Amino acid sequence: MDSFVLPALILIPLVGTIITLFMGGSREKLAKIVALAFTVITLVISTYVMLAGDYSQFDFNSGWIDSAGLKMSFIFTVDGLSILMVFLTALLEVLVIVFCHDGVHMEHGEPKRNNYFYSLLLAIEVGLMGVYLSADYFLFYIMWEVSLIPMYFLISWYGGPRRHYSAIKFFIYTHIASLIMLIGIFAMAFQAAHGGVVDFGFEAVKNGVGLYASEAFQTLVFGLLFFGFAVKMPAVPFHTWLPDAHTEAPTAGSVLLAGVMLKMGSYGIIRICIEALPLGAPNWQFIMIGMGILAMIYGAYACIAQRDLKKMVAYSSISHMGLVMVAMGTLSGIGIEFAIFQMFAHGLIAAMLFMVCGAAHDHLGTREIALLGGIAGKLPLYASFMMFCFMASLGLPGLIGFWGEFGIVFAFYDWTVANDMIYLLVFCLLSLLLTAGYYLWAMQRTLFGRETKKIDMGKVTDLDKLECVALAVLAIAVAVYGIWPDCALSFIQGYVDSIVNSGIVLPSLNGVI
């Protein structure tokens, strides 16, 4: 029974996708409720899986293609690395459906049908669940592409004025990256071929490559895969698709994109690059750290210059994913642990951030910082949520963002001590300061000061009930995990122990006194 739980996590949204797809015409109004029902079921199941404790009972393994020396299977597993991402995906899917209004996406161009919108959201869930659950490289790759395509349509159908440019840019960028990743996958699978059979299963490849393939091979393949994942994360300088995609995407798309899709990149780096290619990883360590620091500082500075609230938040995502990159680059147990934690933390916070930015557009009609000002008086709820998520994002202690930053900077400091480069800590600290700077400046210009006269404040309304519910759920999660980070860390701990025990990374670089 339990072994069908994981396929169900993929199949339920898939069924939902198909049903909502055909709910045109008079049934269109029901689409939201149907989609909500399917996502809620998925959320319930993923919560059950998360709390189950022993994850191996859920393993699912079924043959698929086994001919001409190629073996691809339907293997689904879950562990401490993926479970938080699975939960996050399921949670955010529910919340975006709650948050988004019917017909909001009719602002630009011709009206589009609601049911397609919800169908695409569910299709994205299929892809995301597939990526996080599959344990077969071929399946993983297919799911990776599956998540890409509905997002393309979501942006190009329901997006802002420059949606076509952004959607194409998003698609081509990530598609090129995933093709290069595919080359890497093939290289690994064929290298690991055993007895004339190329088995694409994660385990099989890991056993075949892992500690056996030569360092040169691993370094090369690491590079191919790393490029594919780094674009998705996104790492500077391969990031420019992200601000454009975010600015044009509908709120729901942005939330999913920043909340869970970016994490596919870092998930891939940990799951595939570091776990399966442990000999190649050290050779890329400095590049990862360097790119991470670059992304942190560069993203933070870019935020200061932005004039669009949503674009600023998009650049802040780049900056915060830079932290994840740095953490992974340390190749230590603490680093990996807090990289995963930060992925989860950023998922929650970024979802709030993009919801707030989307609400700015829906309620105030603009996201231009220069047009806003003093709106806290008229929209107290909106202002509170905005301030809350900005504070969470800039790493206020007591909220989840702080622990991500704290752990990562600590892991990084650990690394700099081991490599005798303490001065690099300055960059991390600088980025924390800059983060506070751009958020506070944005708040000063939008929420506070004199009330703007550039938009008609007479007609604006505060957040409605559903929007508040979605934001409040996230806010509670951010606060609870912030006060008691062990709620999330305990899930990650098992995974980190397993990779430490298998000798892939050290728990910490300087040892405990």
By CB under 8 A, name the binding residues for other proteins.
169, 172-173, 237, 239-240, 298, 301-306, 332-334, 337-338, 374-377, 391, 396-398, 402, 406-407, 409-411, 413-414, 417, 425, 429-430, 432-434, 436-437, 440-441, 443-444, 447-451, 484-486, 489, 507-508, 510, 512-513
Give me the DSSP letters along 247-311: HHS-HHHHHHIIIIIHHHHHHHIIIIIIHH-TTTHHHHHHHHHHHHHHHHHHHHHHHHH--BHHH
Say if residues 357 and 309 touch (Cβ distance below 8 Å): yes
Q: How far is it, in rounded angstroms, from Cα 374 to Cα 106?
A: 28
Smaller CB separation from other proteins, 1 or 513: 513
Cβ 355 to other proteins shortest distance, Å: 21
Beta bridge partners of 67: 70
Beta-carbon contacts of 506 under 8 Å, excluding residues fewer than 6 positions away, are: 331, 332, 333, 500
Sequence-ordered list of residues with C-beta below 8 angstroms from that of 62, at least 6 positions apart, any chain: 73, 74, 75
What is d(CA 130, CA 123) in angstroms, rounded to the nearest whole number? 11
Q: Please report where in the chains the tokens 């992200």 appear, as a residue.
A: 242
The angle that helices 137-158 and 163-191 make with each other, rounded to 10 degrees, is 180
Torsion-angle region of 379 (φ positive above 0: left; ψ -120 to 50: alpha; else: beta): beta
Cα separations in angstroms, 61 against 49, 127, 314: 17, 19, 38
Tokens encoding 27: 């049934």
By beta-carbon proximity to other proteins, the closer residue of 324 and 447 is: 447
CB of 152 to other proteins, least distance (A): 16
Taking the complex as a whole, the smallest distance from the CB of residue 242 to other proteins amounts, in Å, to 11
Looking at the Cβ atoms of 80 and 259, the one nearer to other proteins is 80
CB of 342 vs other proteins, minimal distance in Å: 13
**Minimum distance of other proteins from residue 423's CB (angstroms):** 11
> Do residues 307 and 314 lie in contact, with contact meaning Cβ atoms separated by under 8 Å?
no
- Name which of 7 and 449 has its Cβ closer to other proteins: 449
Q: How far is the CB of 176 from other proteins (least distance, A)?
A: 10
Residue 312 C-beta: closest distance to other proteins, Å: 11
Closer Cβ to other proteins, 132 or 315, answer by number: 315
- 3-class DSSP state of 505: coil
- N- to C-terminal Cα distance for the chain? 47
The residue among 8 and 313 lying less far from other proteins, judged by its C-beta, is 313
Q: Which residue has tokens 């008086």?
A: 377
CA proximity to 262, closest of 304, 324, 312 = 324
User: In 3D, which of 271, 272, 76 has the Cα closest to residue 185?
Assistant: 272
Entry field: residues in the chain: 513
* β-bridge partners, 198: 70
Q: Which is nearer to other proteins, 138 or 412 (CB)?
A: 412
How many helices (H) and strands (E) the chain has is answered by 20, 3
Kindly state the smallest distance separating residue 421's Cβ from other proteins, in Å.
14
Q: Judged by CB, which is closer to other proteins: 186, or 406?
A: 406
Q: Which is nearer to other proteins, 146 or 475 (CB)?
A: 475
- Residues pairing with 66 in the sheet: 71
Comparing CB distances to other proteins, the nearer of 285 and 384 is 384
For 404, the token pair is 């991500």
CB of 246 to other proteins, least distance (A): 14
- Residue closer to other proteins, measured from CB, 34 or 434: 434
* Partners of residue 308 on adjacent β-strands: 368
- Indicate the residue among 186 and 410 with the shorter CB distance to other proteins: 410
Least Å distance between CB 358 and other proteins? 22
SS3 368: strand
In terms of CB distance, is 397 or 503 closer to other proteins?
397
The minimum distance between CB 336 and other proteins, in angstroms, equals 10
Q: How far is the CB of 217 from other proteins (least distance, A)?
A: 30
Closest distance of CB 360 from other proteins, Å: 16
C-alpha to C-alpha distance for 509 and 75, rounded to whole angstroms = 34
Q: What is the DSSP letter of 463?
A: -
How far is the CA of 294 from the CAs of 77, 302, 323, 428, in angstroms? 34, 12, 10, 10
